């Protein structure tokens, strides 16, 4: 938490936030649009290993956090230290999440040789099974597809996924369950026909 020195380099943002706290939606939207490039720049600089999509992830996390705790802003104090404290915590969370995710993934260098077995020679790695799964996922309804992508592939928590999508946690659980069930049915049917 940085010490605030009482100076406010962005009095306009302080004013917009105070108006937003009073329910001025236009001021709030303007504020969020104005701070987004700054959030993006800071995230890109601090998370120098992160891909553009991850930087955008962090930016969205910060925007959601700003929204959730906007009542904690005190209009007499500078806006920027308040915003940057939120961003710093959110970036730390992202880094923790990234490390956790990394533990479940295994980095494998591309192998120069493959086995002579036909199954190992996949020409670019897109196996029939992967194509099959991708095609099956593509046939799912959008909500189920999104739930599977966020919860199963990106390994977000239910809360995070709910914040991203605007769906309730229950709706996400149901969509994931149905999506998995649908996938199982689709893949099972394909196998039977194949």
Residue ranges binding other proteins (CB under 8 A):
1-4, 20-23, 25-26, 28-29, 32-33, 36, 53, 56-57, 59-60, 63-65, 67-75, 77-78, 81-86, 89, 149-150, 159, 162-166
Burial label for 176, CB within 10 Å (0-12, 13-18, 19+), is buried
Cβ 79 to other proteins shortest distance, Å: 9
CB of 27 to other proteins, least distance (A): 9
Q: Between 11 and 75, whose beta carbon lies closer to other proteins?
A: 75
- Cα torsion angle, 134, 140, 141, 145, sign: negative
> In the complex with other proteins, which residue's Cβ is closer, 9 or 29?
29
User: How far is it, in rounded angstroms, from Cα 135 to Cα 22?
Assistant: 48
Those residues with Cβ within 8 angstroms of residue 132's Cβ, 6 or more apart along the chain or in another chain: 187, 190
CB of 87 to other proteins, least distance (A): 9
Indicate the residue among 132 and 149 with the shorter CB distance to other proteins: 149
How many CB atoms neighbour CB 90 within 10 A? 22
Nearest distance from residue 123's CB to other proteins, in Å?
30
Helix (H, G, I), strand (E, B), or coil: what is residue 50?
Answer: coil
């Amino acid at each position: 938490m940085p010490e605030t020195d009482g100076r406010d380099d962005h009095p306009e943002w302080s004013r917009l936030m105070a108006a937003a706290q009073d329910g001025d939606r236009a001021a709030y939207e303007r504020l969020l649009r104005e701070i987004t490039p700054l959030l993006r720049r800071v995230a890109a600089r601090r998370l120098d290993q992160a891909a553009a999509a991850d930087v955008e992830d962090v930016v969205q996390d910060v925007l959601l956090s700003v929204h959730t705790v906007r009542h904690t802003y005190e209009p007499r104090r500078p806006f920027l230290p308040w915003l940057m404290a939120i961003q710093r915590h959110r970036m730390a969370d992202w880094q923790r999440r990234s490390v956790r995710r990394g533990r479940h993934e295994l980095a494998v260098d591309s192998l120069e040789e493959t086995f002579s077995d036909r199954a190992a020679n996949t020409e670019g790695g897109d196996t029939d099974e992967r194509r099959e799964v991708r095609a099956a996922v593509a046939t799912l309804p959008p909500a189920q597809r999104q739930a599977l992508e966020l919860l199963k592939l990106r390994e977000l928590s239910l809360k995070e996924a709910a914040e991203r999508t605007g769906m309730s946690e229950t709706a996400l659980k149901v969509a994931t369950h149905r999506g998995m069930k649908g996938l199982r049915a689709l893949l099972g049917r394909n196998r039977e026909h194949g």
